[in-house]
Chain A
């Protein structure tokens, strides 16, 4: 059970957006991709999810190349939460979540309980009959998360490892929901053995929730490992140009990254 990419690159003209990266989505772990803007995080995720084909290298699930897999089978074991959603037609929130069950070709009697569970897990049950287009950005994101969960909802019968890819899942959310979405992601990894991969921007979130971190800079994988070994003062200065203190607070279980000053920042 491996979901990995081997030496993948992607070019826009001459420029390599992703340059020779090998990595894997580890079952049972929440892996996080970090890196400054333009590091190639989203492009990497798009290649992993199969949206775009790498110019070189390949993406494999269980030893089988991504392109060769049956689309429906792939959809049953791998779900992707996009950065933002643009739905202009008036579906209700539960209609949107129900679309997650599309690969299964099942009747409402089977899919609706799963839709209900996914919505209650993401605390969107109250929104079920609301029009999706009238929801706030954060509510839309949570409904989309419920859809993605419904797509790979744990089954009793299947023992296949499932994978969840999240592209900046916490962007539009309030702090409480940011924590909840990451808690659900962790729960899927720990309790259900899912391989979860998320792009995050908040270094402290990565420190608190990640099992494993990939650091990207200018399309290259510069460092990988556990949060403690990867998120150091030197790597933060190298990647983001920030001087930061790693603070250990007595009431928190994980250290806190406290940015002190930006490197040579001047607005004028």
Chain B
């Protein structure tokens, strides 16, 4: 009888991860190939080979190399990292709060970052000093998180539950602040603010995304290591403690890592909502709740989802661009509803 369990657990569905990796590769190729300016595959290869010092017989213009190396590639890399950051944050926050509705937007990280950024656009020097904006947004995200953490430390009883409620309150306050800044802004600022809030990867340059990539990479690695303790966390906080997990330390690590990666993501790309909520759910429908799979799979699917959304955003209304946040919600919402209803019809809805 053990052999039965053995085979079932031994087969750890690595194929989901493999499938997602293939999916990501397809999304990457599509994002490089498709765009307002058409770059055929042979030229792309020639440009890339030329970059590492190999010359080929295929000719390409200097501006074509520029489009690929300075516009599409940084944007692609940023999309992968931001998507992975959002997907993974949703997955770990849902586990930490033991609540399937948790996502970075809900605990105030995104809106705290947005409040600072919007305040900077309206009150500060304007959009011109663009490299300051990511930094300001990141500080906002960290501030919101630390505030939530500090306030919930004094809470009696269910600490994580009150953290969620405090997060919602911080969220509301931040949104009110953003509303106030929008109210006092002039027309140009309002347009900038609105567009930034809807999110986008368009402003990516290698220089502007470098700190974001670094922070997200650190956060992702730290969170990947939390997979096994997070599984126990789903049993309950006390139960996880009985199994030898330092639950306070785990909470601290996760909150700080999420603030780090979401703050960095919001800083360069604005608020891209819905990815953090939907991606872990979709992953769990296929993989079950084991975080050793859910966390890496959420990172991969988050990246794929963001790349596809960005592809749609920048191709449907050429030469203009839709805000990526709009595309995410418009595509993600109905898909998510369909998934829930479809699952409901089967053997009972489970998260």
Contacts and interface: CB of A to CB of B under 8 A. Distances in A.
Interface of A: 46, 49-51, 71-76, 78-80, 82, 85-92, 94-96, 98-100, 102-103, 108, 112-113, 115-116, 120, 125, 128-129, 131, 133-134, 147, 151
A90 B289 contact: yes
Interface in B236-253: 236, 238-239, 241-246
A94 B5 contact: yes
B39 interface: no
Contact of A99 (B231, B288, B351): B231
Contacts of A115: 2, 5
B64 interface: no
Contacts, number: 108
A91 B289 contact: yes
Nearest to B289: A89
Contacts of A86: 98, 236
B334 interface: no
A87 B233 CA distance: 10
B246 A71 contact: yes
A57 to B, nearest CB: 20
The 4 tightest CB contacts between A and B, nearest first, are: A75-B244, A90-B350, A116-B2, A89-B289
Interface string B205-245: 00000000000000000000000100110111011011111
B321 interface: no
Interface of B: 1-2, 4-6, 8-10, 95, 98-100, 228, 231-232, 234-236, 238-239, 241-246, 284, 288-290, 347-348, 350-351
Contact of A133 (B98, B228, B350): B350
Nearest to A109: B6
A102 B244 contact: yes
A34 B97 CA distance: 34
B155 to A, nearest CB: 15
Contact of A71 (B98, B245, B348): B245
Given A51-B241, A112-B6, A115-B2, 13 more contacts: A73-B244, A86-B236, A87-B236, A89-B234, A89-B284, A90-B350, A96-B235, A108-B6, A112-B5, A131-B347, A134-B347, A134-B350, A151-B243
Nearest to B6: A112
Given A87-B235, A88-B100, A94 B9 contact: yes
A82 B236 contact: yes
Contact of A134 (B10, B100, B348): B348
Contacts of B289: 89-91, 95
Nearest to A49: B242
Contacts of A100: 243
